[in-house]
Amino acid sequence: MLRLRANAVAKFKSHIAGGEQRAIIAATSARKYSTESPLPESADVVIIGGGSAGCNTLYQLAKRGVRAVLLEKSKLTAGTTWHTAGLVWRLRPNDVEIRLLAATRDLLMSLEEETGHNSGWINNGGLFISHSPERLDEYSRLATLGKCFGIDSHIVGPEQAQKLFPPLDPTSFTGALYSPGDGVVDPAMMCTALTKGATANGGLVVEDCTVSQIITGENLLGMKDVRGVLTNKGTIRTNTVVNATGVWGRDLIEPLGVFLPLIPMKHAYVVSETMDTIHQMLPNVRDHDFSLYFRIQGKSICMGGYENNPIMLNRVPGDFHFGLYDLDYSVFDTHIQGAVKLCPAFGSAGIKSTICGPESFTPDHKPLMGPDPTVSGLFHSVGYNSAGMMLGGGCAEQLAQWIIHDRPDRHMFAYDVRRFTPKQKKALNWATERSHEAYTKNYSIVFPHDEPLAGRNFTVDPFHKQMIQYGAVMEERHGWERPGYFLPDETVVVQPYDWYGYYDHPKNANTHYEEALKGDYTFGFSEHHDLIGEEALTCRHDAALFNLSYFCKLFLTGSQAKEAAEWIFTANLDKPINKTIYTCALNKRGGVEGDVTVSIVESGLGGLHDPIFKGRGYYIVAGGASAYHTKCHILAAIQEKAFRAVVSDHTEELGVLSLQGPKSREILQKITDFDLSNEKLLPMNSTAILTIKINPHYSCHVRVLRVSFVGELGYELHIPEESCNDVYNALMKAGYKESLRNAGYRALYSLSSEKGYHLWGSDLRSDDTPIEANLGFVCRKEGEYQGKEIVDRQRENGVSRRLAFFTLREQVPIWGLEAVYRDGEIVGHLRRGEYGYTLQKPIGQAYVQRADSSPITNQFLQSGHYQIEVMGKLYDADCHLRSPFDPKGERMQGIYK
């Protein structure tokens, strides 16, 4: 290995000049496929950046008849794209991503026929290497999900894998997943084919054109909007700009006060000397456990991977065109040992050249896409995390829909810039930590309940310290800490990020939190399964207290608040003051952008929970993990319709405790003099301001909502920050004799799934309509609201896919993504999988779809023999139209038999 390294370094040095030469060749060949055009005065859309993201976007827009122009400061591909490894995989633990990757592959396969230019696509297949049973389990999950989308893949033994890729040493690994449809793409050929396709449809490419400024104005409602771009060749008027500037993604937008959590890093691979045993059609190899990949280039192997100590860059100079860095072997060395072990022939071949270039990375290893919520007309398509070739086609197709139709047709939340709060986007230190961890863990097994160690304790709620004292093991969502579950009598503090001991950083001595996480590193039942079950069952039998403080809390007020609320929300909000209503908010395609509770409120006394305003107000409470997304959706609708309405965000100022269970009323009644009976203050689905007695001399006011996310009699207390600790202590004291205990999100999600409630982002998404999700009952038939025509049409005609519940007869853990079979045919996959502790069964939700897309009826759902595929094995399942737990909803009414 040492010999190889010395050899490699020597060879690398002799290749520096070669690297420059490569750059020049690429630049000259790039010139051939762009047009030398004068700058137009105006355009429908200006795309800044001529890499994979920009070229794909131009192609997709031009094909749809949009007058789009792409401006590139150098030549096409000059940024990261020209030196990519170009691997195109298809299997990911996420259905949306699988479809995006499939869209790219389909495009690459069809471009030549359409444009007459070979897209550079080679279908050589892909092998995923495994060294452990858990890794093979993960591959089984991928294979199962792949089946739902027609992706052929199968688990093979080491010898079979070696037959596919002869230089592999079969004794060095335990198994593999083979995906024959994977491949590679040549970046220059791809961009040529794309731009030829685009220009044939009226798209325009202008090279050597540097955008120095995005010109903005202010619209009637005071929001910044795009007016044009300023370049070295002149100005173009436009209302829509796509930021596809790759590692330069932050540079042009920061002067506008727009920030993105995008971190440029050096990313590399090496190219071996030619080897006799290698030929171009050998499959790509991805060894997650060794954190490396092989790609064939002629008779050489390109080898790269993800290191623990990547070099992070503050900025990349503006003139870094077709550039490469010297490879730092102190960083890259880590891959060589694994590569040689896996493929001894690679070790003896020596290294011909090295490719180390800049690429942009993000805190969750997903791109940053979609409309900027603060500048109207500005769209992003950056931060591709070393997957911009394989995601390019699929993402650009979605972006084109986003630009033209306001929303993409897939659920792009995981890619949407709005998944980050403004606070997260501005905090470069936070983004750096998280992007580092996401980079180093890119090839780690994706367990259903893993948590980051970086960027933690970024936002904590007022109960945080108390929760920790009670043994909370925290999870992180949307930058907030929230209790996952409680380890009684233990104190589990998330430590400051130790960079996994790299960059000369000492490793944390306290590893308690990391140890707790390891209990979930399995696809079997978690080590914490029983403990979470105790929390869930206490909620069903006695009472449990959930800290929901990171929930989104908004007041919608103003002279047209009523019109705005009625346009945005589907339910009938024409209700008396103090009613609380569950409702959806839809996009123009009828997809669910959020599900929330809206309480009709009147002006109060000026407290955070009880503000002063004129007229009728709406208190909107939404899930925390998508809080900013929900808020942006509401604001965008108000902007578009120019409603005179104001949204004030009280998320960080109000703590929320949710007291749930048969004994919840008894407990709450102990600390208030108000009569909490149904007949008096608080019937189901209502709100009131309550006085809580902290002690004989001191009381405080909170807003209480009689709602439940778990299907029990229960109350949500929305508490001004300064009273949070007192109210929490008072409740714990009042509930002591009634066996009240803290419970976390793991129990909450199990309980809500068992009850059949939706969880936005998993079983309810922007690509599901309320009718498909069995939520037609929250969509009013009268009046108008966004997306109503779709709902009305589907109500009338029926839908070709519908949400159904599945319980398994055997005690097998399910996590979501498992294929659902009906009479031996795949009809969907689980969007969500939980264990129902009261039902004592695994329970999951899937959208069932017929092969011929004919309407799904109750009769269809209730007939047939259902099975769920878990780790490659089929288990009998029962299908339910609604969850079998308390179908009449009696418990929420306080009726306990």
Ligand X SMILES: Cc1cc2nc3c(=O)[nH]c(=O)nc-3n(C[C@H](O)[C@H](O)[C@H](O)COP(=O)(O)OP(=O)(O)OC[C@H]3O[C@@H](n4cnc5c(N)ncnc54)[C@H](O)[C@@H]3O)c2cc1C
Number of residues located near ligand X, criterion CB under 6 A: 41
263 touches ligand X (CB under 6 A): no
SS3 753: helix
Min CB(551)–ligand X separation in Å: 35
Q: Which is nearer to ligand X, 257 or 317 (CB)?
A: 317
Min CB(84)–ligand X separation in Å: 3
Min CB(73)–ligand X separation in Å: 4
393 touches ligand X (CB under 6 A): no
Using CB under 6 A, pick the residue from 244, 544, 657, 843 that binds ligand X.
244
The encoded tokens of residue 570 equal: 């589907």
Binding mask 432-471 for ligand X (x = CB under 6 A): ----------------------------------------
**Choices 267-275, 305-313, 407-415, 511-519; region in contact with ligand X by CB under 6 A:** 267-275
79 touches ligand X (CB under 6 A): yes
192 touches ligand X (CB under 6 A): no
Using CB atoms within 10 Å of the CB of residue 51, give its burial: 0 to 12 exposed, 13 to 18 middle, 19+ buried.
buried
Min CB(67)–ligand X separation in Å: 19
Binding to ligand X (CB under 6 A) within 208-237 occurs at: 210-211
Q: Which is nearer to ligand X, 50 or 175 (CB)?
A: 50
389 touches ligand X (CB under 6 A): yes
188 touches ligand X (CB under 6 A): no
Using CB under 6 A, pick the residue from 168, 241, 252, 282 that binds ligand X.
252
357 touches ligand X (CB under 6 A): yes
Using CB under 6 A, pick the residue from 34, 60, 74, 686 that binds ligand X.
74
The encoded tokens of residue 605 equal: 């006394």
Nearest-angstrom CA–CA distance, 241 and 231: 13
Min CB(18)–ligand X separation in Å: 17
Binding mask 283-302 for ligand X (x = CB under 6 A): --------------------
Q: How many CB atoms lie within 10 A of CB 441?
A: 19
Q: Which is nearer to ligand X, 192 or 245 (CB)?
A: 245
**Which positions ≥6 away from 837 have C-beta within 8 Å?**
532, 533, 536, 537, 540, 750, 751, 754
Min CB(507)–ligand X separation in Å: 28
Q: How many CB atoms lie within 10 A of CB 522?
A: 18
Min CB(304)–ligand X separation in Å: 6
**Choices 3-11, 265-273, 418-426, 475-483; region in contact with ligand X by CB under 6 A:** 265-273
Nearest-angstrom CA–CA distance, 399 and 379: 8
388 touches ligand X (CB under 6 A): yes
268 touches ligand X (CB under 6 A): yes
86 touches ligand X (CB under 6 A): yes
The encoded tokens of residue 276 equal: 């006799």
Which among 514, 497, 496, 386 is positioned nearest to 439, based on CA atoms? Answer: 386
Q: Which is nearer to ligand X, 192 or 630 (CB)?
A: 192
248 touches ligand X (CB under 6 A): yes
- Helices then strands, counting H and E runs in the chain, come out as 23, 40
Q: Which is nearer to ligand X, 34 or 376 (CB)?
A: 34
Q: Which is nearer to ligand X, 84 or 547 (CB)?
A: 84
Min CB(421)–ligand X separation in Å: 24
717 touches ligand X (CB under 6 A): no
**Choices 216-224, 264-272, 410-418, 810-818; region in contact with ligand X by CB under 6 A:** 264-272
**Choices 154-162, 218-226, 381-389, 674-682; region in contact with ligand X by CB under 6 A:** 381-389
Using CB under 6 A, pick the residue from 12, 34, 46, 50 that binds ligand X.
50
Residue 52 has phi, psi (to 5 degrees) of -55, -45
Q: Phi/psi class of residue 382: alpha, beta or left (left: φ > 0; alpha: ψ in -120 to 50)?
A: beta
Which among 382, 374, 369 is positioned nearest to 417, based on CA atoms? Answer: 369
Nearest-angstrom CA–CA distance, 445 and 442: 9
SS3 766: coil
387 touches ligand X (CB under 6 A): yes
SS (H, E, C) 312-352: ECCCCCCCCCCCCCCCCHHHHCHHHHHHHHHCHHHHHHCEE
Which helix (H) or strand (E) segment holds residue 565: the answer is: helix 561-568
Sign of the dihedral through C-alpha 113, 114, 119, 124? negative
Using CB atoms within 10 Å of the CB of residue 201, give its burial: 0 to 12 exposed, 13 to 18 middle, 19+ buried.
middle
303 touches ligand X (CB under 6 A): no
Nearest-angstrom CA–CA distance, 104 and 87: 12
SS (H, E, C) 794-839: HHHHCCCEEEEEEEECCCCCCCCCCEEEECCEEEEEEEEEEEECCC
Nearest-angstrom CA–CA distance, 685 and 697: 31
State the amino acid at position 570 in one-letter form: T
DSSP 121: E
**What does the angle CA 448 – CA 454 – CA 460 come to, to the nearest 5 degrees?**
90
Using CB under 6 A, pick the residue from 390, 396, 799, 817 that binds ligand X.
390
78 touches ligand X (CB under 6 A): yes
Q: Which is nearer to ligand X, 438 or 771 (CB)?
A: 438
398 touches ligand X (CB under 6 A): no
Using CB under 6 A, pick the residue from 47, 53, 536, 817 that binds ligand X.
53
Q: Which residues bind ligand X (CB under 6 A)?
A: 48-54, 71-74, 78-81, 84-87, 210-211, 244-248, 252, 267-269, 304, 355, 357, 359, 382, 384, 386-390
